[in-house]
Structure formats: C-alpha cells, structure tokens
Chain A
Amino acid sequence: EVQLVESGGGLVQPGGSLRLSCAASGFTFNKYAMRWVRQTPGKGLEWVSDISSSGDNTYYADSVKGRLTISRDNSKNTLYLQMNSLRAEDTAVYYCAKGSPGTIDYWGQGALVIVSS
C-alpha cells in the first residue's frame, strides 16, 4: 500500500523559513517523480513543484520560483520542500504526491503551513 506522510508544517512569520518532509513507502521510491501541490483554505488546488526520479530535474510554479526548493533523498525514501522568504499567500495545506507521466496517482494527507505574524 502506497503511503505518503508529510511532516514539518506549522506557524511561521512572514519572511521566515520552514522545511516540509514527506516519508514515502509502499513503492519503489527512486523510480518515480514526486510532486508538491498546495491548497489554500477553502480554495482550489495549485501545483507547486515536481522533481524527477533521480532528482536531476526540477520544475516550479512561477509563484514560488526562487523561494521554494524541492529535493529528495532516495536512500531515505523522503521528499522535501524547503520554503524560504515565506509570504502570507503561501498559507496552505501542502500535499506530497506520487507522480507518473502526466498524472498524480497518490496523495499524502497534507501538512498545514500558516504564514502570519
């Protein structure tokens, strides 16, 4: 059974930093691209970032480019999202997701990030 468990969410002040982690199990982690998708309270879904299976290729939404960094440790079956220079509009539930070509086949339970003073 595929499991994706996010951690590291919380309250942070504007301009601050936070690192999200996603522990993956139930599949061969190093064979799949991984994604982060966020959902602002009461609103829709916004794709944030993708990383290839090897970690060599990364992609970002314009809204987060230069501030959020996706990475992975295939030896630990873990995906990361380093979040710097956070803004109020980054407040959202962040979902870790398993990717296959052109799709998302599994989602984590989400981690809430609140950016507020």
Chain B
Amino acid sequence: DVVMTQSPLSLPVTLGQPASISCRSSQSLEHSDGNTYLNWFQQRPGQSPRRLIYKVSNRDSGVPDRFSGSGSGTDFTLKISRVEAEDVGVYYCMQGIQWPRTFGQGTKVEIK
C-alpha cells in the first residue's frame, strides 16, 4: 500500500499569515498516463470533506486562490498564502494512483 505521511499534524496559525502542509508518499504518484494523482481535501468542523486541489496543483472551482498545491513524485505541499478564519479545519492529502486509495493522517489548522 502507498503510505501517505503528512506534517505537521497540528498547525496553529495567526490570521493573515501563511501556512504550509507537507505530504509525502511512500511511492511515486506519477502515473504512466503522465498525470500525478495527488489530491488535497479540506474538512471544516462538522462538515463533509471537500476537494480543494487535484492532480497536485489544480484548484477546484470556488476554491480561493490563496490555496495552492505543488510538488512532484513523492513530495507535495499545500500552501495557504494568508490564513482566514474560514480555513480552520483538517486537511488531508490522498493518493489516487493505486488501490487501496490512501489518505494522510490529516493536519489540523487552527487559529492562534
């Protein structure tokens, strides 16, 4: 199985400051079709998860441009350029290259 490792697991951030979450996979997520199947999801308190980013860096419709994804191979990053109050929640990465699909442990973003 592909193991997804996120860090940090807890991220206190000051409003308006940047935040960065790392996700590392135990195997390359680059598919033979040329795509890299790394996704980021946000789960706000009491809500279902919501996709933010797919294929490393493609932002979903309606996702603020302060969210960005980057990386390649086995090393990926989600960045929030300026954290707002509505960004509080848990963020998960997920690989889509192999079954079983696997998620990172989650990173809890909270306001200091």
Contacts and interface: CB of A to CB of B under 8 A. Distances in A.
Interface of A: 35, 44-47, 50, 59-62, 95, 101-110
In the A-B complex, the 9 residue pairs with the smallest Cβ-Cβ separation, listed nearest first, are A102-B96, A102-B37, A47-B101, A107-B48, A45-B103, A59-B99, A103-B54, A44-B106, A61-B100
Nearest to A4: B48
Contacts of A106: 51
Nearest to B92: A45
Taking chain B's interface residues, is the majority helix, strand, or loop, or is none over half, making it mixed? loop
A104 B92 CA distance: 12
7 contacts: A46-B103, A47-B94, A95-B49, A102-B37, A104-B41, A105-B51, A109-B48
Nearest to B36: A102
Interface of B: 31, 35, 37, 39, 41, 48-51, 54-55, 60, 92, 94, 96-97, 99-106
A44 B101 CA distance: 13
Given A45-B49, A102-B35, A103-B37, A50 B99 contact: yes
Nearest to A96: B48
Contact of B51 (A35, A47, A101, A104): A104
Contact of B39 (A44, A46, A103, A108): A103
Contacts of A108: 48
A59 B53 CA distance: 24
A46 B51 CA distance: 15
Contacts of A46: 103
Contacts of A47: 94, 100-103
A101 B96 contact: yes
B51 A44 contact: no
